[in-house]
Amino acid sequence: MEETLRVGVITSAHGLRGEVKVFPTTDDAQRFRQLKDVLLDTGTELKPLEVEQVRFFKNLVIVKFRGLDRIEEVEAYKGRDLLVTRANAVELGPDENFIADLIGLEVVTDEGGRLGQLTDVLQTGANDVYVVKRETGKELLLPAIKDCVLDIDLEAGRVTVHLLDGLLDL
């Protein structure tokens, strides 16, 4: 498992006073209100930054970092990831996992057959959908519901699923 989790991507500078626009990659953008510290992936290092102020505009978060007070200081960070350590990540509820932990898991059926590797999680609103790349190269879409996803074992690196009627026919 990765030690850091991405919470957003800097899209551009905002104004002249060092603020940045951030596209949130977390389920709940409001979590930025509680963030005190983040790590900026500069491409060569993880640079710690202290969050000074947060506000919201449409689907973006406007963030001001302490000590970065001019547009010239933040322009180079366009397209860079903002990360948090697992210690600063939101607490997960029962049967919840970080998407980053699911990517790459082997997907097997409850009958013991191997389906492939989980390559993506689509967030549809109603329920997540797991994208499984089959050995044939085709993708299989599995609804992340209790009737289909029976067990996620991060330590074993495996997701056990029950194939609902018709899923393999799509």
Q: What are the structure tokens assigned to 47, written together?
A: 């640079």
Q: Is the pLDDT of residue 21 over 70?
A: yes
Residue range 117-144, pLDDT digits in tens:
999 998 887 889 999 999 888 999 999 9
- Is 114 found in the same domain as 63? no
Percent of the chain with pLDDT over 70: 98
User: Domain total for the chain?
Assistant: 2
Q: What are the structure tokens assigned to 49, written together?
A: 């930054």
- Is 106 found in the same domain as 69? no
- Is 79 found in the same domain as 11? yes
- Is 75 found in the same domain as 107? no
Q: What are the structure tokens assigned to 122, written together?
A: 């689509």
Residue at 60 is within a domain: yes
- Is 131 found in the same domain as 58? no
Residue at 94 is within a domain: no
- Is 82 found in the same domain as 12? yes
Residue 158 β-bridge partners: 106, 153
Residue at 8 is within a domain: yes
pLDDT of residue 16: 92
- Is 140 found in the same domain as 113? yes
CATH of the domain at 119: 2.30.30.240
Among 29, 64, 86, give the residue marking a domain's end: 86
- Is 43 found in the same domain as 66? yes
Q: What are the structure tokens assigned to 55, written together?
A: 């506000």
**pLDDT class of 104 with cuts at 50, 70, 90:** very high
How far apart are alpha carbons 149 and 28 in whole angstroms?
A: 23
Residue at 91 is within a domain: no
The amino acid at residue 95 is D
Among 24, 59, 86, give the residue marking a domain's end: 86
CATH of the domain at 38: 2.40.30.60
Residue 45: is it exposed, middle or buried by C-beta count within 10 angstroms (0-12/13-18/19+)? Answer: exposed
Instruction: Kindly report whether the global pTM for this prediction surpasses the value 0.85.
Output: no
Q: Is the pLDDT of residue 108 over 80?
A: yes
pLDDT of residue 86: 86
- Is 114 found in the same domain as 56? no
Work out whether strand 158-161 and strand 106-109 pair parallel, antiparallel, or are unpaired: parallel
Could you list the residue range(s) of the whole structural domain that residue 163 is in? Answer: 99-169
